[in-house]
């Protein structure tokens, strides 16, 4: 163990591989220092664990109505109470974690590459390419988000997958703008000029130097957006274009349970709390990651 | 840092200023209701077919025949003081009431009634079928409706309809009498004042339209010269509050006098409240499940019969529908003339299973379409669960009405849960929709007819519907409708499930609100505070 | 100002900006036209893929086929879509946005009513976010790692993670129903409506102009809660971004140099570091404001606020294309305008971006 540690912490790395490992290890050490970030990681890890172990954690499938047990308050039998159709809210939240992970994962996978690529290229290359890409971005930005999402879903057909896809396709434009703003300030900076003068081709400068510098802003924005994305998915579900009942999607649970907020507070409260905790987790994690990933703000 | 502190402090001062609540309860002569009025798209009585707008029209216009709030269950003369029916039942002469005046001050004359009815036929909007079924069309209507003299109007019906049906139809919103002179003064491009009347009123009712501000409110102003006496409320507001929870807060706080869209669970929670009272009014609206007969499996009537046994009617009515829907299984609402209150079906999974076995069917998959608004998603989920017990696997797809209807009208659905409300207070209104389908070919395009939408037709039932429509003897007619309903309960493509009950919650001192059986029989003129 | 830049360099940059102005304006105008052509074209395409049927929105689901067909022709839907599009553009050039199906009013009339409601809400919310969020962000960055920093970050995180809809209902319940500190849903008590002359459509401004202070207070009582809820959201976001940007700057060498030279801390923070943060901050504030101007459907629904979000959404569900197009154009104008404004602003503030 200590040998590995020594290898990881040696002052002068012998190989590219060692340097890479060292960088990650140092990042991890920095990350570990950040209590909030670790808390975020724990939350996300717990979410993944719950999603994986859902069949063993939940006592029921969470979809079959039991009208005799409707609107039971939280107690020893139903930890989080039951909803308007008598289903165990705890079980539904447990099963819903899978859906949340699915949404979050898919959106990230689509949004970040598109937004980053468009923004970085536009900001770095400039000229007509910048104008064209930014006009395209503006059209998407200028479009009311929900309308565009609805149009995509309408074209693709209702359902959770299509709703997520539609959200992702409408969500990339702010990332492009942020990445472009960063790239603009970077393109004439000394280290980029230095890299170019060493004969590194443009595409590698973009991928190896410019894009990583934009990552921190993008990650901050992405983690901050996660709650919004989950809620937008819920909104689409409520409008009949996202997850369909009886799917225990958290946002849809709030949407359908909101009439119960005053008297049976637990119906919308626990799904709301679940969303709160998970987005808090993402936010904390994002904060920590940023400190670690961002070469600019590392002290 | 002090600058920052000062800024923050200034900000909070502004916020604190706002925290001094300046709102107050409505004054004594203003009646404010919280309601979801997002369905209003027009206020022209020749076009109105939506719930809220129908209610507005009922308060702004007097109709030829009316259900007055004093006796909401009984048809009476409105603008018509009396009528005389010819021996063959095809001609009716109405005597127009003396001394009626429109809000503009113009007198109400037979010419106005003639104009109003002709206008409906010529504009030919959705509710026009209520009078065009008399055999009226744009070419003959001027001949069939004639002013006799200064007090009398004669109408002719070319079809052999029962006169009772004709009078009932003339109590619908399309029989609202509009102010001919005023409307024509605002006509443009030969539209008979249609564009103007969408957002203005020209009636003689207890109220006139003050202002319709879409997404905000509809305001009505009292008509001080109304023959039944001026309404006690000088102004009536229908405030647009889409969220039931927000309606409830406004009501509890006393900022509104009545909430119209509270859920059963909210009403139950308000039961012990000292300042609030709940009123229940049975309505004519029906919730039903329909099966597309063009579907290879659902076209089998044994399967539909099995579905009828696989629904937990009572379980739903006792839980999330409690107080707002009662079990009802015939196409005409209970409590009305020719209404059928029998409920032959209850949840019986064994029976459903054995019926499916008789049909020789393997377990199958089906799609259930329904609306996004409460209680439809809940009903769909209950059906899904009990169908599963019977061996039918289903998938729910909920959509907004405007997206769902094109699908239903194009016969693209499999199972659908929907709502129906009679257009006028005669059983033919529903029989014509649920039972009669004169042409079942897809290209016939009878998209307004439920039987056609579900690709279901029976020569026998068609003949029976026409015979009942044209029968003049009341008792015989009632028996025919009862039999028609019983036959549809086993032969039709429907599982009719519930009849709606309108629940309104009011501040206790607010009295005199009346809500009759039909969707537009809602009256504000007797309201006092 | 970053170290190593001289005044003359800066002046040169300013001058070239002026020289380039006419070409820039022409280019901007062209890109504007392109953006709006794209916007309207996409919206028209949406009309084609939307499953909602505008004819049924008018005639209702029970209409007979002949009624349906008549209205279908009346709306011009029997024409090919590009003919409809060209016809719409033609009307647009004459300033005619058409008539809405849902409100039976000219779309322009609707927009003049719904947009100010959203503008009022968004402006107050953004002001709250900027005036409170940005100083808090700076404060947190300056006190990095101390309890104040942790407090601000935690509050910010909660503010951002909580579902707005849910918080809105809760706030209504506590602050309105239980405590009675603020007024309830709606923009104003409806019996006050129409008492002041709508000059700008912003009730606060109109009532202040008319010196109707009772109405002003009433409107403010209605505005405080929804604006506060939206404000908390942008406040949290702005505080967080400001802190992030400030930390970046405070770690730079020129800050160290300034401190070594003995420049007062306040000057270091506000004159040096904050100045350089402004560029990124302007972009972020612009984006936040623009997204609020799009209208927040959920907040508007909870507070029965007659804003443009509700208008566009309900129009969309009824495929009321004139209304959707009109709303989209207004939102589009705001977005493009704000983006261009912030673009211009940060070119002025930061010469590096040129």
**Could you read off the pLDDT of C313-340 as tens digits, one per residue?**
888 877 788 898 898 888 888 887 887 7
Please count the structural domains in chain B.
3
Query: Of residues B420 and B72, which shows the higher confidence score?
Result: B420
Q: Evaluate if residue A142 carries a pLDDT over 90.
A: no
Closest Cβ–Cβ partner in C64, C104, C220 for B42: C104
Name the minimum distance, in Å, from the CA of C338 to any CA of chain A. Answer: 10
What's the pLDDT tens digit per position in B368-405? 999 888 899 999 999 999 999 998 999 998 887 877 88
Of the pLDDT bands very low, low, confident and very high (cuts 50, 70, 90), residue A224 is low
Cβ–Cβ gap B318/A67 under 8 Å: yes
Locate C20 and state its tokens.
């380039």
> What mean pLDDT, rounded, does chain C reach?
81
Distance from CA of B28 to the nearest CA of C (A): 12
Q: Within an 8 Å CB–CB cutoff, is residue A263 touching chain B?
A: yes
Asked whether residue B44 is domain-assigned, the answer is no
Same structural domain, B245 and B293: no
Contact B378, B315 (CB under 8 A): no
How far A166 CA lies from chain C's nearest CA (Å)? 13
Q: Which chains touch C (3 or more CB pairs under 8 A)?
A: A, B
Q: What is the pLDDT of residue C337?
A: 83
Contacts of A143 in chain C (CB under 8 A): 39, 42, 328, 331-332
Helical residues (DSSP H) of chain C, grouped into ranges: 7-19, 21-49, 54-59, 65-74, 81-93, 107-128, 134-142, 147-161, 164-171, 203-209, 213-250, 253-260, 265-267, 275-293, 297-302, 308-317, 321-349
Selecting from A65, A256, A260 the residue whose C-beta is nearest the C-beta of B382 gives A65
Q: Which CATH number goes with the domain that contains B269? A: 3.40.190.10
Architecture of domain C108-353: Orthogonal Bundle (1.10)
Is the model's pLDDT at B520 over the cut of 80? yes
Q: Which of B168, B197, B226 is at the close of a domain? A: B197
Note whether B322 and B378 are same-domain residues.
yes
Q: Give all strands (DSSP E) within chain A, no chain letters.
A: none
> Is pLDDT at A296 greater than 70 in this prediction?
no
- Mean pLDDT, range C138-147, rounded to an integer: 87
Chain A contacts of B325, Cβ < 8 Å? none
**Residues of A numbered 41-70 whose beta carbons fall under 8 angstroms of chain B's beta carbons: which are they?**
64-65, 67, 70
Residue B64, in any domain of the structure: yes
Mutate to test the interface with C, among B250, B372, B402, B453 (most CBs of C within 10 A): B402
Which of A244, A263, A264 is opposite residue B396, by nearest beta carbon?
A244
Per residue in B4-48, pLDDT (tens digit) is 556 556 656 655 554 555 556 788 999 999 999 988 989 999 999
Complex ipTM more than 0.90, yes or no: no
CATH number of the CATH domain containing B80: 3.90.76.10
> Are B173 and B232 in the same domain?
no
Provide, as residue numbers in chain A, all residues whose Cβ is less than 8 Å from the Cβ of C46.
147, 150-151, 154
Whether residues B261 and B401 share a domain: the answer is no
Structural domain includes residue B98: yes
Scanning C102-131 for CB atoms below 8 A from B yields 102-105, 110, 113-114, 128, 131
B43 assigned to some structural domain: no
Q: Do B271 and B319 lie in a common domain?
A: no
Q: Is B152 helix (H, G, I), strand (E, B) or coil?
A: strand
CB A83 within 8 A of CB A96: no
Length of chain A measured in residues: 299
Hey, is the C-beta of B213 within 8 angstroms of any chain C C-beta? yes
Answer yes or no: do B316 and B390 share one domain: yes
Chain A residue closest in CA terms to B375: A256
pLDDT exceeds 50 at position C2: no
Contact A185 C34 (CB under 8 A): no
Residues B222, B293, single domain; the answer is no
Contact B319 A70 (CB under 8 A): yes
Taking CA–CA distances from B404, the nearest residue in chain A reads A240
Residue B229 lies in a domain: yes
At A299 the pLDDT is: 37
pLDDT digits (tens, 9 = 90+) for A261-279: 888 889 988 988 898 888 8
C194 interface with B at CB cutoff 8 Å: yes
With beta carbons under 8 A apart, name residues in chain A contacting B310: none
Residue indicated by tokens 């000062």:
B6
Per-residue DSSP letter, A61? -
- What is the domain-level CATH number for residue B462? 3.10.105.10
Q: Is the pLDDT of residue C163 over 80?
A: no
Look at residue B345 in the predicted model and tell me its pLDDT: 96
Q: What is the pLDDT of residue C8?
A: 34
Which residues touch C14 (CB under 8 Å, ≥6 apart)? none
Residues B192 and B216 reside in one and the same domain: no
Range in A1-5, B140-144, B428-432, C130-134 the model is least confident about? A1-5
The minimum CA-CA distance between C66 and chain B, rounded to whole Å, is 9
The nearest CA of chain C is from the CA of B42 a distance in Å of 7
Q: What is the pLDDT of residues C245-285, one digit of tens each?
A: 888 888 888 888 888 888 888 888 888 888 888 878 888 89
Mean pLDDT confidence for B411-418? 95
Are B394 and B366 in contact, with CB atoms under 8 Å apart?
yes
Closest CB to A263: pick one of B265, B400, B403: B265
pLDDT, greater one: C149 or B331: B331
From the list C34, C161, C297, the residue facing A146 with the nearest CB is C297
Cβ pairs A/B, distance under 8 A: 68
DSSP class of B434 = H
Give me the mean pLDDT over the B226-243 stretch. Answer: 92
Q: Hey, of C51, C129, C151, C157, which one would you mutate to test binding to chain A, going by the most A CBs within 10 A of its CB?
A: C157
The shortest C-alpha distance from B370 to chain A (Å) reads 10
B188/B288 same-domain check: no
Question: Could you say which residues from 90 to 149 on chain B have a Cβ atom under 8 Å away from some Cβ of chain C?
Answer: 124-126, 128-129
Helix extents (H) in B254-346 = 264-270, 301-309, 313-318
Residue from A240, A247, A256 to probe the interface with B (highest B Cβ count within 10 Å): A240
| pLDDT reported for residue B328 | 97
Question: Within the 36-75 window of chain C, which residues sit less than 8 Å (CB to CB) from chain B?
Answer: 51-53, 56-68, 70
- The last residue of one of the domains, among B136, B162, B197, is B197
Mutate to test the interface with A, among C158, C160, C174, C256 (most CBs of A within 10 A): C160
**B262 lies in the same domain as B322:** no
**Contact call for A151 and C251, based on CB within 8 A:** no
Closest chain C residue to A189 measured between Cα atoms? Answer: C352
Q: Which residue has the higher pLDDT, B396 or A297?
A: B396
Q: What is the pLDDT of residues C182-219, one digit of tens each?
A: 888 888 888 777 777 777 888 888 888 888 888 888 88
- Rounded to a whole number of angstroms, the distance from the CA of C8 to the nearest CA of chain B is 32
Closest CA relative to residue A23, chosen from A222, A15, C244:
A15
Residues B77 and B174 in one domain: yes
Q: What is the pLDDT of residues B483-512, one digit of tens each?
A: 999 999 999 999 999 999 999 999 999 999
- Per the domain annotation, does B262 fall within a domain? yes
The predicted structure's pLDDT at residue C11: 37
Lowest-confidence pick of A249-253, B394-398, B454-458, C350-354: C350-354
Please give the angle made by the CA atoms of B87, B92 and B93, to the nearest 5 degrees.
120
pLDDT of residue C352: 59
pLDDT (0 to 100) of residue A280: 85
Q: Give the whole-angstrom CA distance, residue A63 versus residue A46.
A: 23
- Residue at a domain's end among B197, B231, B266: B197
Is the CB of A256 less than 8 angstroms away from the CB of B319? Answer: no
Annotated domain spans of chain C: 2-93, 108-353
Q: Cβ of B19 and C181 within 8 Å?
A: yes
For the purposes of burial, counting CB atoms within 10 Å of the CB of C19, is it exposed (0-12), middle (13-18) or buried (19 or more)?
exposed
Chain A residues touching residue B320 (CB < 8 angstroms): 67, 70, 84-85
Instruction: State the DSSP string of A125-189.
Output: H-HHHHHHHHHHHHHHHHS-HHHHHHHHHHHH-SSHHHHHHHHHHHHHHHHHHHHHHHHHHHTTS
DSSP for B92-138, please give it. EEEEEPTT-B-TTSPBP-HHHHHHHHHHHHHHT-GGGHHHHTTT--T
B288 and B274 within one domain: no
pLDDT score, position A239 = 64
User: Does A85 touch chain B if contact means CB atoms closer than 8 Å?
Assistant: yes
**What is the per-residue pLDDT across A99-134, written as a single tens digit (0 to 9) for each?**
988 988 888 888 889 998 999 899 888 888 888 888
Kindly report the nearest CA distance between residue B460 and chain A, in angstroms: 39
Res A1 pLDDT > 60: no
Shortest alpha-carbon distance between residue A292 and chain B (Å): 29
pTM: 0.85
Question: Is B528 among the domain residues?
Answer: no
Q: Is the peptide bond before A246 cis (omega within 30 degrees of 0)?
A: yes
Which domain, by its residues, includes B144?
Answer: 58-197
Of A262, A264, A267, A268, which to mutate for an interface test with B (greatest number of B Cβ within 10 Å)?
A262
Contact A85 B382 (CB under 8 A): yes
Q: How many CB atoms lie within 10 A of CB B158?
A: 12
The count of other CB atoms within 10 Å of the CB of residue C262 is 6
Q: Do B239 and C63 touch (CB under 8 A)?
A: no
Q: Is residue B261 part of a domain?
A: yes
């Amino acid at each position: 163990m200590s040998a590995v540690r020594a290898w990881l912490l040696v002052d002068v790395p012998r190989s590219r591989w060692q340097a890479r490992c060292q960088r990650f290890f140092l990042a991890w050490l920095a990350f570990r220092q950040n209590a909030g970030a670790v808390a975020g990681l724990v939350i996300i890890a717990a979410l993944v664990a719950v999603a994986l172990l859902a069949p063993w954690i939940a006592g029921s499938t969470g979809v079959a109505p039991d009208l005799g047990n409707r609107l039971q308050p939280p107690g020893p039998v139903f930890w989080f109470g039951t909803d308007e159709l008598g289903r165990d809210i705890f079980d539904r939240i447990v099963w819903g974690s899978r859906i949340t992970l699915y949404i979050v994962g898919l959106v990230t996978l689509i949004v970040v590459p598109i937004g980053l690529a468009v923004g970085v290229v536009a900001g770095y290359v400039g000229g007509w390419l910048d104008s064209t890409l930014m006009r395209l971005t503006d059209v998407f930005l200028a479009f009311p988000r929900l309308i565009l999402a609805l149009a995509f879903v309408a074209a693709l057909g209702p359902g959770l997958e299509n709703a997520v896809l539609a959200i992702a396709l409408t969500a990339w434009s702010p990332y492009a703008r942020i990445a472009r703003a960063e790239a603009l300030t970077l393109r004439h900076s000394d280290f980029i000029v230095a890299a170019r003068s060493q004969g590194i081709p443009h595409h590698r400068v973009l991928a190896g130097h410019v894009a990583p510098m934009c990552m921190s802003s993008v990650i901050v924005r992405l983690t901050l957006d996660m709650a919004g994305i989950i809620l937008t998915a819920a909104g689409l579900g409520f409008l009949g274009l996202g997850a369909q009942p009886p799917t225990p999607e958290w946002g849809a649970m709030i949407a359908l349970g909101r009439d119960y907020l005053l008297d049976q507070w637990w119906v919308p409260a626990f799904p709301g709390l679940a969303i709160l905790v998970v987005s808090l987790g993402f936010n904390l994690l994002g904060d920590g990651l940023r400190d670690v990933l961002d070469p600019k703000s590392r002290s | 840092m002090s600058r920052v502190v000062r800024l923050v402090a200034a900000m909070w001062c502004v916020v604190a200023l706002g925290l001094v609540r300046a709102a107050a309860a409505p004054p004594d002569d203003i009646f404010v209701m919280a309601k979801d009025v997002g369905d209003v798209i027009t206020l022209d009585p020749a076009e109105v077919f939506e719930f809220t707008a129908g209610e507005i029209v009922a308060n702004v216009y007097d109709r030829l025949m009316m259900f007055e709030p004093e006796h909401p269950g009984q048809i009476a003369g409105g603008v018509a003081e009396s009528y005389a029916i010819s021996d063959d039942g095809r001609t009716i002469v109405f005597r127009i009431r003396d001394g009626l005046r429109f809000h503009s001050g113009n007198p109400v004359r037979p010419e106005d009634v003639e104009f109003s009815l002709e206008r409906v036929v010529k504009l030919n909007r959705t509710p026009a079928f209520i009078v065009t079924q008399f055999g009226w069309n744009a070419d003959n209507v001027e001949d069939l409706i004639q002013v006799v003299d200064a007090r009398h109007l004669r109408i002719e019906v070319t079809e052999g309809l029962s006169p009772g049906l004709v009078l009932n139809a003339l109590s619908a919103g399309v029989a609202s009498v509009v102010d001919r002179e005023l409307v024509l003064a605002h006509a443009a491009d030969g539209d008979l004042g249609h564009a103007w009347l969408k957002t203005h009123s020209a009636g003689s009712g207890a109220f006139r339209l003050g202002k319709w501000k879409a997404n905000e409110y509809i305001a009505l102003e009292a008509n001080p010269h109304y023959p039944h006496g001026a309404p006690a409320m000088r102004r009536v507001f229908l405030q647009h509050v889409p969220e039931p929870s927000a309606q409830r807060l406004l009501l509890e706080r006393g900022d509104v006098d009545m909430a119209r869209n509270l859920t059963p669970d909210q009403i139950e929670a308000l039961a012990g409240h000292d300042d609030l009272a709940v009123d229940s009014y049975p309505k004519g609206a029906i919730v039903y499940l329909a099966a597309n007969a063009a579907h290879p499996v659902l076209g089998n009537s044994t399967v539909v019969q099995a579905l009828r046994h696989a629904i937990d009617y009572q379980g739903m009515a006792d839980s999330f529908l409690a107080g707002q829907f009662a079990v009802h299984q015939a196409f005409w609402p209970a409590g009305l003339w020719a209404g059928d209150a029998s409920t032959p079906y209850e949840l019986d999974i064994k029976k459903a299973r054995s019926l499916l076995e008789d049909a020789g069917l393997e377990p199958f998959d089906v799609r259930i379409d329904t609306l996004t608004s409460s209680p439809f998603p809940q009903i769909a989920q209950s059906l899904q669960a009990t169908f599963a017990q019977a061996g039918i696997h289903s998938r729910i797809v909920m959509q907004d009405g405007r997206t769902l209807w094109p699908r239903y009208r194009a016969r693209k659905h499999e199972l659908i849960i929907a709502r129906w409300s009679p257009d006028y207070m005669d059983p033919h209104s529903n029989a014509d929709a649920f039972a009669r389908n004169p042409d079942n070919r897809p290209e016939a395009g009878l998209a307004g007819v439920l039987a056609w939408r579900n690709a279901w037709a029976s020569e026998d039932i068609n003949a029976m519907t026409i015979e009942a429509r044209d029968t003049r003897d009341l008792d015989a007619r009632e028996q025919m409708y009862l039999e028609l309903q019983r036959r549809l309960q086993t032969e039709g493509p429907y599982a009719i499930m519930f009849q709606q009950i309108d629940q309104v919650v009011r501040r206790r001192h607010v009295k005199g609100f009346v809500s009759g059986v039909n969707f537009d029989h809602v009256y504000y003129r007797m309201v006092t505070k | 100002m970053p170290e190593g830049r001289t005044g003359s360099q800066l002046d040169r940059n300013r001058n070239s900006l002026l020289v380039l102005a006419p070409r820039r304006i022409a280019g901007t105008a062209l890109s504007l036209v392109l953006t709006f052509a794209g916007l309207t074209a996409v919206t028209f395409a949406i009309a084609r893929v939307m499953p909602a049927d505008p004819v049924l929105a008018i005639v209702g689901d029970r209409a007979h086929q002949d009624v349906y067909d008549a209205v279908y022709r009346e709306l011009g839907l029997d024409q090919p879509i590009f003919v409809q599009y060209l016809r719409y553009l033609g009307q647009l050039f004459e300033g005619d946005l058409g008539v809405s199906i849902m409100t039976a009013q000219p779309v322009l009339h609707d927009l003049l009513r719904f947009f100010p409601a959203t503008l009022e809400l968004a402006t107050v919310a953004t002001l709250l976010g900027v005036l409170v969020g940005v100083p808090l962000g700076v404060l947190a960055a300056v006190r990095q790692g101390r309890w104040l920093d942790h407090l601000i970050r935690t509050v910010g995180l909660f503010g951002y993670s909580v579902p707005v809809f849910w918080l809105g209902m809760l706030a209504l319940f506590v602050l309105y129903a239980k405590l009675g500190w603020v007024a309830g849903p709606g923009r104003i008590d409806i019996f006050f409506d129409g008492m002041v002359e709508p000059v700008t459509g912003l009730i606060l401004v109109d009532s202040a102009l008319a010196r109707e202070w009772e109405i002003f207070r009433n409107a403010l009582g209605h505005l405080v809660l929804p604006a506060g809820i939206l404000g908390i959201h942008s406040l949290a976001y702005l505080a967080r971004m400001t802190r992030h940007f400030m930390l970046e700057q405070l770690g730079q060498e020129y800050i160290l140099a300034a401190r070594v030279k003995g420049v007062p801390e306040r000057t270091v923070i506000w004159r040096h570091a904050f100045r350089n943060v402004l560029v990124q901050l302007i972009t972020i504030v612009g984006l936040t404001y623009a997204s609020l101007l799009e209208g927040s459907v959920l907040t508007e629904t909870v507070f029965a606020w007659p804003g443009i979000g509700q208008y566009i959404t309900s129009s969309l569900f009824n495929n009321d294309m004139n209304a959707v197009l009109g709303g989209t154009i207004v939102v589009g104008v705001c977005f493009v305008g704000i983006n261009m404004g912030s673009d211009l602003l940060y070119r002025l503030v930061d010469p590096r971006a040129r």
